[in-house]
Every structure is written in C-alpha cells, then in structure tokens.
C-alpha cells in the first residue's frame, strides 16, 4: 500500500482456493483427524481462503488485520514462526506432520474457522518487545451454527468467536537454542446444538510450546532436533473432545548430504465428551511418523505412516500410509528449517 497510495505499513492480500475431497478422516473412524489436508465431509467448491487488509502502527509494534481471515494461522499454532523482528529467535517450523490436531485443536472442532473455512473478522497483535506478544481476534462464529463461513458471510446474528492469546520466546545457552510458549482462551457465543440439547455458548483454554534441543554444528547449520507440545481443554457439551494433549519431535537434516530433509514423530491424545447422548468412546490416540524428502529447491515428497488407536467410528484400529506432494514455489528461506 505504500507503493500504491503512500500508506506506510499497509498491505492488501487475497488467496483463493479450490477444494475437492472426501471424508477421509471419517473413513478412518477418527474424530481428531489423522490428515489435516481434509477438514470436513466431501466438498467441491471455490473458496476465498482469505481477503485481508493489514496495517502496522506504533513503530510496527501493533498489527491490525481485518477481512476474511484464517484464525488458525494466528492462534494456537505451534507450527508457525512467531512474528518477531529478530530472525535468530524464530522457529520457522517445528514439524511437518499432517495430523489435524497440529493445526486445529480437537477441543475447538466445529467452532474454530481455519483451512478451508475462513471467517470474516478482525485480529490485532501487539509486540511490545522482540520477545513478547499479545493478540486478540473477533470473528463471525456461524461455523458453530452449521454454516460454511468460507463460502458465506459476514453474518451478524449473535454467533461470534473471540480468541485471546499471549506468549513469549527465548534462547537458551551459548548455542542460543530458540524456544517459545503461548497460552490462550476462546469464547463462542450463540445457541449451540449439543447431543443432550441446546447449550448457550462454549469456552476453552489452550497452551503450546516448542524448543530446539540440539544443534549438530552450532553456528554453521540448523540441522538438529526440535520438540513441541500442545495442551487444550473445554467442558462444553457441544464439543466431542474435552481434553487434548499432543507432542512430537523433528530432526532436521537427518542424513548426510540431506540438509533440507526432515524426519519426525507426532502423537495426539484426546479424552472424549462423556455425555451418554454423544455416544463416544472414552479416548482416541493417533501416532504419526513422516520423512520429508526435498526433490528440488521448491518441491518435496513426504510419506506418512499413521496409526489410530481406539478410533470412535471404526470397528478396529487402522494403520494408514499416505504420500504428500508439495510442488511449486515455497517461501524464500535462509536455512534448512524454513519451509
């Protein structure tokens, strides 16, 4: 916007998405979802993934965005790098696992807009220092009312989602191993249809963190080991999952001469809503392994092996092998972890 109308700190952007797919997570019998590439039952539609305007204020310490947004990009996201000015303190990516809970907490399923259902709203991020941040978002909450907010909106009918989060980052030791921690609270308004009857509103909390544990060659490369963890809880009868814990490890540059490859393990465990009318089991667990292989500077192949223990919707525990292909350009990067 500065080049266009001399408005410093402004940016206007749009991303379009055409999605076609089936209910592959339902076919596997999982409530949490072993594959984040499929978010909902079968759909074939163009979607405005986001259309937003962003403005930086207060010497770039305050960022305000509004439009059609994807809240899971900004809140409860252990994978993304935290937007600070010191690149050395960022963890650009801690895992490339495809399990759904990495990108949307099971305690927010049916409430939190994300890929591929964006929502109209606004979000503000305050970064008073290079190591602290606080953010708040207000969105059209009609996803909880059964509407496809990625195809509709905005609606002003009493269904709103509010999310607040704060966090910090740090470096440890002489090798300056980076880490980060974030915690948040969300509230969904409106009359929600639960298995035992309607409930008024829903709320929950979450916590996530990541830490670099080991550098192979400190100061020379970013090869080494990182770990992450997620925790979340809600008591709403509208939500199928009431407690969640997830964790995992990633090794960047796992073999000689393959600095841009990575290998990792992810674990997700959820305790179900115990309302008898919900007809859910007591728990569900997903174990996932992957290897991300760089084919060329802008393309990757990623085989994944997922095992689902005690799936709610299947008669037995399945083991699933998937192959993910990531062709085309990726974000410009300066080290092996930025992808």
pLDDT in tens, 32-70: 989 988 766 555 666 667 788 989 998 889 999 999 999
Task: Let me know if residue 339 belongs to a domain.
Answer: no
pLDDT tens string 186-205: 999 999 998 888 899 999 99
pLDDT score, position 307: 93
Q: Report the run of H or E that residue 307 belongs to, with start and end.
A: strand 299-309
Nearest to 124 by CA among 177, 63, 76, 168: 63
Please indicate, yes or no, if residue 228 is contained in any of the structural domains. yes
Which residues, other chains included, contact 91 with Cβ-Cβ below 8 Å and sequence gap of 6+?
81, 82, 169, 178, 179, 180, 210, 212, 226, 337
In a domain, 248, yes or no: yes
- Number of domain units in the chain: 1
Instruction: Give the dihedral of Cα atoms 31, 37, 40, 45; nearest 10 deg.
Output: 180
Q: For the residues 154-175, what does the mean pLDDT come to?
A: 91
Apex 159 CA angle, 207 and 163, nearest 5:
20
* Best CA proximity match to 186, nearest among 132, 233, 243, 153: 233
Q: What pLDDT sits at residue 328?
A: 52
Put simply, whether the predicted model's pTM sits higher than 0.75 gets the answer yes
Q: What is the CATH number of the domain that holds 199?
A: 2.40.160.180
Output the pLDDT for position 39. Answer: 62
Instruction: Report DSSP state, residue 114.
Output: B
Give Cβ neighbours of residue 155 (< 8 Å, ≥ 6 apart): 140, 142, 147
Asked if residue 214 lies in contact with residue 228, where contact means CB atoms within 8 angstroms, the answer is no
Closest residue by Cα to residue 170 from 208, 220, 139, 209: 209
pLDDT score at 333: 33
Range of the domain at 223: 10-326
Q: Which residues pair with 211 in a beta bridge?
A: 179, 227
What b/e string do you get for 130-156 counting C-beta neighbours within 10 Å, with b at 16 or more?
Answer: ebebebbbbbbbbbbbebebbeebebe
Cα(186)–Cα(172) distance, rounded to whole angstroms?
31
Q: Report percent pLDDT > 90 for the chain.
A: 44
């Amino acid at each position: 916007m500065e080049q266009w109308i001399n408005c410093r700190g402004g940016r206007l952007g749009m991303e379009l998405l055409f999605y076609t797919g089936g209910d592959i997570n339902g076919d596997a019998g999982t409530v949490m979802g072993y594959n984040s590439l499929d978010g909902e039952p079968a759909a074939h539609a163009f979607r405005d993934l986001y259309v937003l305007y962003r403005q930086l204020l207060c010497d770039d310490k305050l960022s305000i965005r509004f439009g059609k947004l994807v809240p899971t990009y900004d809140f409860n996201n252990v994978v993304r790098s935290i937007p600070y000015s010191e690149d050395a303190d960022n963890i650009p990516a801690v895992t490339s696992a495809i399990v759904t809970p990495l990108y949307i907490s099971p305690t927010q399923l049916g409430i939190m807009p994300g890929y591929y259902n964006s929502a109209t709203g606004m979000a503000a991020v305050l970064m008073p220092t290079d190591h602290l941040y606080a953010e708040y978002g207000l969105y059209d909450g009609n996803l909880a009312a059964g509407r496809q907010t990625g195809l509709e909106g905005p609606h002003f009918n009493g269904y709103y989602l509010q999310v607040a989060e704060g966090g910090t980052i740090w470096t440890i030791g002489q090798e300056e191993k980076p880490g980060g921690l974030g915690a948040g609270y969300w509230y969904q308004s409106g009359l929600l249809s639960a298995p035992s009857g309607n409930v008024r509103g829903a709320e929950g909390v979450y916590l996530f963190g990541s830490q670099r544990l080991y550098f192979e060659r400190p100061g020379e490369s970013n090869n080494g080991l990182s770990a992450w963890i997620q925790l979340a809880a809600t008591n709403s009868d509208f939500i199928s999952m009431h407690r969640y814990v997830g964790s995992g490890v990633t090794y960047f540059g796992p073999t000689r001469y393959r600095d841009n490859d990575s290998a990792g393990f992810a674990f997700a465990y959820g305790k179900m809503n115990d309302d008898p009318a919900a007809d859910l089991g007591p728990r569900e667990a997903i174990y996932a392994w992957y290897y991300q292989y760089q084919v060329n500077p802008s393309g990757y192949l990623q085989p994944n092996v997922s095992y689902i223990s005690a799936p709610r919707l299947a008669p037995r525990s399945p083991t699933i092998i998937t192959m993910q292909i990531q062709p085309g350009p990726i974000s410009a990067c300066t080290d092996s972890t930025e992808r």
